[in-house]
Amino acid sequence: MGDDHKEETPESLPFLSTGETETSSEKRRNLPGDADKIEDVVQDTACGFWLFKGRFMQRFATEKMYVILYGLAGCVMTMTFAYFNGTITTLEKRYKIPTKISGIISVGNDISTMLTAAVLGYYAGNGHRPRWMGIGLLTIVAFCLLTGSLHFIYGAGEDALKLTREYGGQSQANESVSDPQENKKLCQTSASGCIQDVGLWVPQVFLFGAQLISGVGQGLFYTLGIAYLDDNGTKSKTPAMLSLSTFLRMLGPAIGYSLAAICLRMYIEPTMEPLIAKEDPRWLGAWWLGWLVLSVMSLIAALVLFMFPKELPSARKRRMDNRQPDSKAETDIKELSFGDMLKSIKRLGANKVYVNNTLASILYFFGYMAYWIFTPKYIETQYRQSAAMATMATGTVALGFSAVGVLLSGYVISKYKPSARAMAAWNAIVDFMTVAGILCYVAIGCEGSDSLNSLATLSAGNSCSASCHCDYVHYAPVCTPQNVTYISACHAGCSEKAKDDLGRTIYTGCKCMTSLNLISDPETQFALDGVCPVNCFNQFLIFLSVMCFLKLVGASSKSTNLLIALRCIPPEDKTFALGLGSMAASLLGFIPSPIFFGWLIDNYCLVWGKTCSNKGNCWLYDTKSLRYALNLTAASFIFVAGFLNISVWYHAKNLKIFDENERTEKKSADKDLELEEYTLTKLKSQDSK
């Protein structure tokens, strides 16, 4: 038996088996192509790779299986980005990162997507797309491992360890013993030195580099995956398949945020006992733990995508049925050149539906990116919820409504087959409904949270606090009997520290309370450790209800927007157009938006965690001003996107979304059966030599 034909036996390629072992010479003469082309057909439609292949695997080379596994792989990918967003406030606190810098870090993946999506989509689109997608997921594995490794390099940090019972065990035994480090946060008669933080820029560069790597995989996965789905599926089923894959993909953020919520409930050093509650702003959760889980899941997803063939057998059959008698062999690959790419760009630039639809998407993304990335932070600052609660609400609850919206839209599109104009009109309606919902955010504030921050800032800026030299004191809030929060015991002018009968840390001799006319009795000039309680839960529930409605409505336009994008471009430009659109979205939307909104959020910071080298992360915000500025700015971009979708509606009058004649999908399979029989006989004859 010849080794050179070992991998082409019927046992390794059972999808060619029809149960027949002989083929007439008359049938052979009617078959197109020769043995070499048959071998190409076999290789291009064979499921599996390397050692991972066999008879049992070929049954999975179907449209439905690809949609399910592609959706699940996308689910894993979106889990990683959602997990990063869910833990971003913890990363800011741990590594003292301003919001503007965290915004820059979060767009690292979009920068690399912008630089690589169009080129990779153009060249890799003519290769083995599933394997390129698998390579893309391997970059996600690297992203997870690099991000999580920061904890093993730098540890939990001294600030977090100081808040554990194990770290301060010896001094806990005797509170009368004065701790010089602890006394630094009490009122000082002379200026104390600034806090030295060495090398904090290294984690920021590390996080940004990991994001850059993930962007290459993101561009490969989405650009090639959608084109592969559309090329290998029947047109009538495309809306349903897109909705199913999108639904599965949208489970990722929900699971990712839930995983973040679980990890953040554990202390950053799980083996130690923290002395503060989860609701305390100083709480740092085990943000690093989830990255280990996500790296394993991403690796499994990459291996699964490697299994799929270059072209599904059913898609090849349809393509052979539809080809012209004088056409070139289907295995011929078009020569690619930079000139061809420029011609494609020129064709797409003249396509008004494509241009307006892409611009509308970019403006929508620009406005809504603020909520995709900073919603947990928004909930924490506006409604005084813990990081775990904010992450769970953003992920599990709100994104569940997004999944329902995708499924409903897919069902409606598949059943009623609306026109391109109807889809564009719905996209515009969704934009204006989103603007209305965001305006509701402006009105949903919490008076207790607003007044808490204003009083804290007032206490920080008075002359009494200035005389205590509190500029470089760590954020360690204390609460007065009048329910006023001070940034630290130093800012309250406290001079002594002790324990009360309940075991709580109490600061006494807080002279700065009188400077705000809060209290005049020296005997009651004390403060308890921790922030004053604020009840914003009802406002939080109202905000969550509006957010869930917007998620439901917004998700319903995902399939319609993508269908218009797929159908308004010629088949030969499809993969490149998707890559070019992804590049434009990154350049004009995904990259500048987080940076811009991060800068906007930082502008309303009231209390910075100052260090010698920089001002670190923000601890308190002007919540009322921030609420107005953030929401009104985001709404303005989405409002303009609605008018661009109206322009899409105007130009899409002749655009066909569904095939009017699908008779080719119902043709007799006799010709395909003959091809399979002939191929089987060829392979057997070669194997017997």
Radius of gyration of the chain (CA): 30
Q: What is the pLDDT of residues 558-601, one digit of tens each?
A: 878 888 888 888 877 777 787 788 778 878 888 899 889 989 99
Q: Is residue 666 very low, low, confident or very high in pLDDT (cuts 50, 70, 90)?
A: very low
pTM here?
Answer: 0.70
E strand intervals along 391-495: 478-479, 485-486
Q: What is the pLDDT of residues 373-412, one digit of tens each?
A: 888 889 988 998 888 888 888 777 777 788 788 888 888 8
For 83, the token pair is 């997990």
H-type helices in 46-128, by residue range? Answer: 63-86, 88-95, 99-106, 108-124
Task: Produce one character per residue of 407-437: b if its CB has 16 or more CB atoms within 10 Å, e if not.
Answer: bebbebbbeeebebbbbbbbbbebbbbbbeb
Residue 9 has pLDDT above 50, yes or no: no
Per-residue confidence (pLDDT) for residue 193, from 0 to 100: 60
Contacts of 186 (CB under 8 A, 6+ apart): 489, 490, 494, 495, 496, 497, 507
Q: What is the pLDDT of residues 21-58, one digit of tens each?
A: 344 444 444 444 455 555 555 566 766 666 666 666 77
Q: What is the pLDDT of residues 409-461, one digit of tens each?
A: 888 888 888 888 999 999 999 999 999 999 999 999 888 777 766 666 666 65
Of 115-124, 149-158, 420-429, 534-543, which gets the smallest average pLDDT?
Answer: 115-124
For 501, the token pair is 């009968």
**Considering 529, 554, 581, which residue would you say is the last residue of a domain?**
529
Domain contains 29: no
228 and 131, same structural domain? yes
Domain contains 40: no
CATH number for the domain including 278? 1.20.1250.20
Domain contains 672: no
Per-residue confidence (pLDDT) for residue 668, from 0 to 100: 39
* Mean pLDDT of all residues belonging to the chain: 76
519 and 410, same structural domain? no
Domain contains 43: no
**Considering 494, 529, 564, which residue would you say is the last residue of a domain?**
529
Domain contains 686: no
Structurally, the chain folds into a number of domains equal to 2
548 and 460, same structural domain? no
Residue 637 has pLDDT above 90, yes or no: yes
Q: Is residue 85 very low, low, confident or very high in pLDDT (cuts 50, 70, 90)?
A: confident
Domain contains 3: no
For 38, the token pair is 């048959």
Alpha carbons 192 and 190: distance in angstroms, whole number: 6
Task: Produce one character per residue of 281-313: b if its CB has 16 or more CB atoms within 10 Å, e if not.
Answer: bbbbbbbbbbbeebbebbbebbebbbbbbbbbb
456 and 440, same structural domain? no
Q: Is residue 298 very low, low, confident or very high in pLDDT (cuts 50, 70, 90)?
A: very high
Per-residue confidence (pLDDT) for residue 176, from 0 to 100: 38
519 and 404, same structural domain? no
Of 534 and 515, which is predicted with more confidence? 534
Q: Is residue 628 very low, low, confident or very high in pLDDT (cuts 50, 70, 90)?
A: very high
Coil/strand/helix, residue 528? strand
286 and 380, same structural domain? yes
574 and 466, same structural domain? no
Per-residue confidence (pLDDT) for residue 39, from 0 to 100: 52
584 and 507, same structural domain? no
**Considering 495, 529, 563, which residue would you say is the last residue of a domain?**
529
404 and 292, same structural domain? yes
Q: Which of the residue ranges 262-271, 298-307, 634-643 has the most confident prediction, judged by mean pLDDT?
A: 634-643
Number of neighbours of residue 21 by Cβ within 10 angstroms: 11
198 and 116, same structural domain? yes
The residue range of the domain holding 464 is 448-529
Per-residue confidence (pLDDT) for residue 69, from 0 to 100: 86
Q: What is the pLDDT of residues 469-521, one digit of tens each?
A: 777 777 788 888 877 788 888 888 888 888 777 767 888 888 877 655 555 56
CB 213 within 8 A of CB 146: yes
633 and 571, same structural domain? yes
206 and 87, same structural domain? yes
Domain contains 128: yes
E strand intervals along 94-226: none
Domain contains 461: yes
Residue 326 has pLDDT above 60, yes or no: no
Average pLDDT over residues 67-71: 86
What percent of the chain has a predicted confidence (pLDDT) above 90?
18
Per-residue confidence (pLDDT) for residue 25, from 0 to 100: 41
Coil/strand/helix, residue 220? helix
Q: What is the pLDDT of residues 207-245, one digit of tens each?
A: 999 999 998 888 888 878 877 877 776 666 766 777 777
- How far is residue 303 from each of residues 124, 386, 497, measured CA to CA in Å? 18, 37, 58
